[in-house]
Structure 1
Amino acid sequence: MTVLKAVMAPRDGTVVDGFSEVDVYDLPTACTAEVTGIYLTWDVDQEFLVEQRDFLNSFVVRGGRVVVNGHVQRVFLDGLTRWRKLEYRGPADLALTRVTEHPVWAGTDPKLFLYNTGRRGPVPFAELERIGVAGFYGRGCYLDLPDGARVVHTIGRTRAPIDYEYPLGAGRVLVHGGNDLLQFSSADRGTADLRPQIVRWLEAR
């Protein structure tokens, strides 16, 4: 089983922490029969992916899995909808609520994703509330969901969907409407399991 991480920079397929990193423009040729999952970083070229829509649809319909990060503005995969910015005034408008348990986020507390600081090492949550900046995980939502979608997290007091999964043929698509999920896998944050759990989900394990 191989899991591809498609990025906006030249990569040679070297395996890093469970991901074989490839340039997004090499994705169609890099996606061999052994590939079970594709991880799209938040900054990939959506215009290019629109041109690859038939390829991506076919990959998922046959049983593949895709993680989509960021703000979808170009629909490059059946079932995707466009990201919408939230109006927010403070941390309460950006806090996460877990609606459904999901293996990618298993064992993590949603509040651990809310704040970022420049401080190294573990920081107690009360201190994070005092010195942290909220909103790095996400500041928007997906209001129009495809058939069969399962919401994982909602954001803010409006409880708008930010993370969701949906079926497409024999495969599945997981959408995160914010900064790259891998940025939030950290021992200091208490979320170190997030990265290997993403890999296992993409491997369909």
Structure 2
Amino acid sequence: MTVLRAVMVPGAVESDGWRHIDLYDLPQADLTEVTGIYLAADVDQEFLAEIRELLGRFVFEGGRMVVNGHVQRVFLDGLTRWRKLEFRKPADLALTRVSEHPVWAGIDPQALLYNTGTPGRLTFEEISRIGVAGFYGRGYYLDLPDDAQIVHTIGPTAGPIDYAYRLGAGHVLVHGGNDLLQFAGADRGTSFLTGQLLSWLGQR
């Protein structure tokens, strides 16, 4: 099992089960043994659009892909453009779990809503008093594939922020916000999110 984490840094390095690879090196990478590709939220979507055929072939042939961030350039079949949510208060950004998915198994959506900058485990009441909402996501996707599985919606508008779908023999998972790995941490009680992402991407 090899899982690539495509980021905007030069070179490639192995760490904690990931093989970090510069996005621009992806076309030259040997994907023969690669089961999954994790696209960080800040990657160059214009470049991804240029290698759309490569990405599509990888997934169609059974690979798995996680797409983070605000998709504005459609670089893979089944993707749709991100839309900004109008919000005024934390409740407008609250997450609702619509269906279960192994990546988020055992994770309370409330644990993802706020960032505090304060180390250590806090109660939700404390977090909601001092925290800032919206880091997990501030928008949503519409016009999803017919067979898409919506995992989370955001706010009273119930716009889909996390969804998954099949593409050929492979699978795609889309998170419409900051990099999912940012939300794996002991202080949130979500440190196992990293392992669950790796496990999902490692299947083929």
- 2:166 counterpart letter in structure 1: P
In the superposition, the TM-score normalised over structure 1's length comes to 0.98
Alignment partners' CA distance in 2, 1:31 and 1:78: 22
- 1:73 counterpart letter in structure 2: Q
Alignment partners' CA distance in 1, 2:157 and 2:97: 13
Of all paired residues, the percent bearing the same amino acid is 69
- Counterpart check, 1:71 vs 2:47: no
Q: CA shift at 1:28, angstroms?
A: 1.8
The aligned counterpart of 2:31 is: 32
Q: CA shift at 1:125, angstroms?
A: 0.8
Alignment partners' CA distance in 1, 2:132 and 2:11: 32
Residue aligned with 2:27, SS: helix
Q: CA shift at 1:118, angstroms?
A: 1.1
Please show how residues 24-173 of structure 1 align to structure 2 within 5 Å. 24-173=23-172
Alignment partners' CA distance in 2, 1:183 and 1:31: 28
Q: CA shift at 1:147, angstroms?
A: 2.3
TM-superposition CA deviations, 1:1-29 (whole Å, max 9, x none): 100000011132x2212110000000122
In the superposition, the TM-score normalised over structure 2's length comes to 0.98
Q: What is the root-mean-square deviation in Å for CA atoms of aligned residues?
A: 0.9
Unmatched segments (≥5 aa) in structure 2 = none
Give the count of matched residue pairs: 204
The aligned counterpart of 1:194 is: 193
Residue aligned with 1:163, SS: strand
- 1:6 counterpart letter in structure 2: A
- 2:173 counterpart letter in structure 1: L
- 2:18 counterpart letter in structure 1: F
TM-superposition CA deviations, 1:48-75 (whole Å, max 9, x none): 0000000000000000000000000000
Alignment partners' CA distance in 1, 2:11 and 2:197: 20
TM-superposition CA deviations, 1:69-117 (whole Å, max 9, x none): 0000000001100000000010110000000000000010000000001
Alignment partners' CA distance in 2, 1:31 and 1:185: 29
Q: CA shift at 1:36, angstroms?
A: 0.4
Alignment partners' CA distance in 2, 1:107 and 1:30: 34
Q: CA shift at 1:145, angstroms?
A: 0.4
Alignment partners' CA distance in 1, 2:40 and 2:27: 16
The aligned counterpart of 1:10 is: 10
Residue aligned with 1:6, SS: strand
Alignment partners' CA distance in 2, 1:16 and 1:106: 23
Q: CA shift at 1:123, angstroms?
A: 1.5
- 2:116 counterpart letter in structure 1: T
Residue aligned with 1:72, SS: coil
Q: CA shift at 1:32, angstroms?
A: 2.2
